[in-house]
Amino acid sequence: MGGLLFYDWSTLPFVILVLVLSFTIHEWAHAYSAYKLGDDTAYKFGRVSLNPMVHLDLFGTIMLLIAGFGWAKPVPVNRGNFKRPRLFGIIVTAAGPISNLVLAFITLFIFALFQKYGWLDGMSKGSSDAIVLFLQLMLKINITLFMFNLIPIPPLDGYRIIQDLVNLRYTEALQKFEQWASVIFLLVVFIGPLRRVTLDPYLRLGDDIINQFAIVITSILGM
């Protein structure tokens, strides 16, 4: 950590670039999938776009820099426009985290290509270090975003998926859960001892995903 920031100052420009790219793709995936499945609400708000300015939330970005977690502007979705509201709602919600998972896989694949073909060998040390740092951050942050967004706490994607999965008769129980869940989650994030035994071990499961990706990629590339 660099003072008040979760990330070091030396890596901050790269972190910001990765966050802009990752958040933009994540929210675009929500908006695009909703549009293709019959809901044009996000389209009318200009959210079916790869322009970062329509997706980024200032406070959510600041929180990610400070605490290591954050958010972008929620994509407006009207499930009433879907032919199958609950199923299509799950697909649209899952599209965001899945986009981060795909970005992580692509990043690791590119990194493997650099290693296999020695593309960094002819570069200056500054250039090669910058490329490696960017790819490392792109991989780690997108895996973290994938894992984090699947936590079943409002207003994260994982909670929205739970809402669409559970029987409607549990709606009242979920509403009661919402009243306390966000507060509990914030305590877990900001109280170090709690975070070290709850959130941190969960997020480290992302390393297992990366290892599985590496096995697949090395097999594809014959490394």
DSSP 111-124: HHHHHHHTTTTTS-
Cα–Cα dist 34/47, whole Å: 11
Helix or strand or coil: residue 11? helix
Cα–Cα dist 40/76, whole Å: 9
Just list the catalytic residues.
27
Handedness of CA 110, 111, 112, 113 (dihedral sign): positive
DSSP label at 79? Answer: G
Helix or strand or coil: residue 216? helix
Q: At what angle do helices 125-149 and 85-117 cross, to 10 degrees?
A: 160
Cα–Cα dist 31/45, whole Å: 10
